[in-house]
Amino acid sequence: MVGALGEVIIFDRGKGFSSVALFSFVFDSIILSLHITDIFTMAENTANQTDMNEWVYDFSQDSNNEESLVEELNNTKINNNKVTENIDTEKQENNYDVADSINTQNSWLNQFEPKNHNDNKDKTGFKKRRGGFNKSNNGNNSFENTANYDSTSNHFQSNGVEHIRVRGRGFLKKLARENESGRFEYNVQEGNTAPVYRGRGGRANHRGRGGRLRETSSDSCYENAEEGHNKKENDKPTGSKPVYIPPDIENKELISGIEVGLNFDKYKTIEVKVSGINPPECMSSFHDSGLCDILLKNLSECNFSTPTPIQNYSIPIIIAGRDLMASAQTGSGKTAAYILPILHNLLSEPTELVFDEYHCEPHVVIMAPTRELAIQIFECAWKFSNRTNIRNGVLYGGTSIAHQKSKILQKGVHILAATPGRLNDFVDKHIVSFASVKFFILDEADRMLDMGFKSNIELMINHPTMKSNEKRQTAMFSATFASEIQLLATSYLKSDYIFVSVGEIGGACKDVFQSVIKVTKFNKKEAVLSLLKDMENCQGTIVFVEQKRMADYVAAYLSEMNFPTTSIHGDREQEEREQALHDFKTNKMKVLVATAVAARGLDIKGVNNVVNFDLPKTIDEYVHRIGRTGRLGNAGKAISFFDPDSDSSLASELIRILRQADQEVPTWLKEYAQHTGSTQAFEDFNDIRENAAAPIKEMW
């Protein structure tokens, strides 16, 4: 209930902001209208007096005269000590910077600028924007999410006011550049899971007029068929399409891959199970793989000397023309397990590449749930096709469509890595046709086939230009593969597909040392801080949170505490997301705070620690998250905060994963598991085909 939260909502709707001085105050649908000059003072007093925890500044003025509004704002005596939130975090999907157009009179705006950063970035790695409300009482922090006015210290603190919202039209609409409602909000409530959308006329995922109480889950908006894409992109008016042009691969060092770790040899002891009719023999080295010479050369240049188990099995299976469903632990080389045999096929059985100025027909389509993963797959294909005529392309949202179109139509593409939304768009526009597809690959297949993406995948599989199962080769890979998803997946595969599992399906990588700490939602912040302080070197730490806003909040907090931190989540612009990853990869930022958008597939050198600030909703997500460390035989560490209030339903599954990975199970955790399900060990084998040949058990 909004009213129960207690809010101050301030609207100013009088033209020119000077004539209206009506002040009213109600819970839930409270409207305060008053002279803008007094807004902050009055709100502050009211908040202070009534101990309310939300402020909403609403400049619902459809101002035709922005300049006078800006002037009005300039004249407004806003005490720097009182307004503390940087609203930028709510409008990061666009590059528009209103202050550019009113630069000459930006004193109001400038007083909210981050004060002590020389370049265009603040300490969090966020791009500095004008127009954000920004704490400036000590002049050095742009993301201090404090918001409660403390009359004794004359500034805000975080223990009371939980929301600051700014709503407006005209000038503020531009400032926020949101949807037609022209409003945006920033919720700084700690541990918040239920941002309140309200107003008049709100609808699902959109803050508008007539709002309602609505929960946004982590980064789960699939309307653009990408995990963690920016919801606000859904209703961008035509004409404000993304213009970001990503750079070409420029730093080979950054895509060079993780080095083999001390535990790499332990891969030999992992049990591999294969089922399906007449599976091809596995290989035991790259040299007996039959891969063409140029690929062997590229492999050695990339320091791939010994194949991992999933590569030993998948490479011969794909070379033999068989369909494949494969599961292997995180960080064990699944990407190369399909890229290499595909490249081998393209090179040894070349066919003409069809393309013209209007369309192209890739030979290989690889789908991934996130933009960053699509980029990573593209880079992997690119590095292994060095010195060949193979052309690689990538399609993903948040970037210029014209640019991506020109890239793939220039010379055509053999291998196209893509997120479903952008690919569908290109297929709809007849820019991409599946008429020449030989291989169709689903990376993170269980994710691609669950609720969020399934309809998009089906659109492609059933597209008139797509070849039938029998005429194309299909392969699916993931570290997790629930039985129901396997069942669904079988309809996309030939009936005699091979199933390979390396280790337990859905099991965690045993090279990750896992620990669980009991917390409450109120002490997570301190807990993460003390974890970082206790680390000898916190370089390479990913902190996972459930909410996009929480990502900014935690990133801001850690930056404040002098841990260089950046964040990645679906409300950041694509350019910012790529910049954040780049800064993290190049060690400019020690800590990356991330939502689900970074949970799967991302392969980043030097990730030593994963912290689950919030535990995810599902155990599979947990397995993927902690798999960002402990890759390729390197040791890693995962620390998870367990809040009994919100995480008890995960307890039994968590215990199961801890046991499977030979980790210690805290005694207190068992209490929470008692009523929430089985902690039994993994099933022995689960190829769901009823008629599957008896599994061939082999030790690699």
The residues binding ligand ATP (CB under 6 A) are 257-258, 260, 303-304, 306-308, 311, 328, 330-336, 479, 601, 603, 627, 631-632
Q: Which is nearer to ligand ATP, 303 or 389 (CB)?
A: 303
Nearest approach in angstroms of CB 466 to ligand ATP is 25
Q: Which two tokens stand for residue 80?
A: 């720097």
Opening angle at CA 585, ends 579 and 590, nearest 5: 95
Q: Which is nearer to ligand ATP, 225 or 445 (CB)?
A: 445
Q: Which is nearer to ligand ATP, 466 or 598 (CB)?
A: 598
Q: What is the DSSP string of 296-307?
A: HHHHHHTT--S-
DSSP assignment letter at 127: B
Q: Which two tokens stand for residue 50?
A: 């009534």
Does residue 441 sit in helix, strand or coil?
A: strand
Q: Which is nearer to ligand ATP, 80 or 618 (CB)?
A: 618
Nearest approach in angstroms of CB 59 to ligand ATP is 46
Indicate the length of the chain as a whole number.
700
How many whole angstroms separate alpha carbon 614 and alpha carbon 435?
44
Q: Which is nearer to ligand ATP, 23 or 264 (CB)?
A: 264
Q: Give CA 249 to chain center in angstroms.
A: 21
Nearest approach in angstroms of CB 474 to ligand ATP is 18
Opening angle at CA 152, ends 146 and 156, nearest 5: 10
Cβ neighbours of residue 52 under 8 Å, at least 6 residues apart? 5, 6, 7, 8, 46, 160, 161
Q: Which two tokens stand for residue 527?
A: 């807990």
Q: Which is nearer to ligand ATP, 342 or 651 (CB)?
A: 342
Task: Extract long-range pairs of 466-469: CB within 8 Å, 24+ residues apart.
Answer: 466/434, 466/437, 466/440, 467/434, 467/435, 467/437, 469/323, 469/493, 469/494
Residue type for 515, please?
S
Nearest approach in angstroms of CB 424 to ligand ATP is 23
Nearest approach in angstroms of CB 611 to ligand ATP is 17
Nearest approach in angstroms of CB 384 to ligand ATP is 10
Nearest approach in angstroms of CB 595 to ligand ATP is 17
Q: Which is nearer to ligand ATP, 10 or 619 (CB)?
A: 619
Nearest approach in angstroms of CB 628 to ligand ATP is 7
Sign of CA dihedral 80, 85, 90, 95: positive
Residues facing 544 on adjacent strands: 594, 612
Nearest approach in angstroms of CB 587 to ligand ATP is 17
The Cβ of residue 279 has, within 10 Å, a number of other Cβ atoms equal to 21
Nearest approach in angstroms of CB 261 to ligand ATP is 10
Q: What is the DSSP string of 361-397?
A: E-SEEEE-SSHHHHHHHHHHHHHHTTTSS--EEEE-T
Reference 485, options 437, 438, 440, 452; nearest CA is 452
Nearest approach in angstroms of CB 344 to ligand ATP is 15
Q: Which is nearer to ligand ATP, 202 or 503 (CB)?
A: 503
Q: Which is nearer to ligand ATP, 186 or 584 (CB)?
A: 584
Does residue 652 sit in helix, strand or coil?
A: helix
Cβ neighbours of residue 113 under 8 Å, at least 6 residues apart? 128, 130, 132, 134, 142
How many whole angstroms separate alpha carbon 385 and alpha carbon 294?
9
Q: Which is nearer to ligand ATP, 559 or 612 (CB)?
A: 612
Q: Which is nearer to ligand ATP, 106 or 332 (CB)?
A: 332
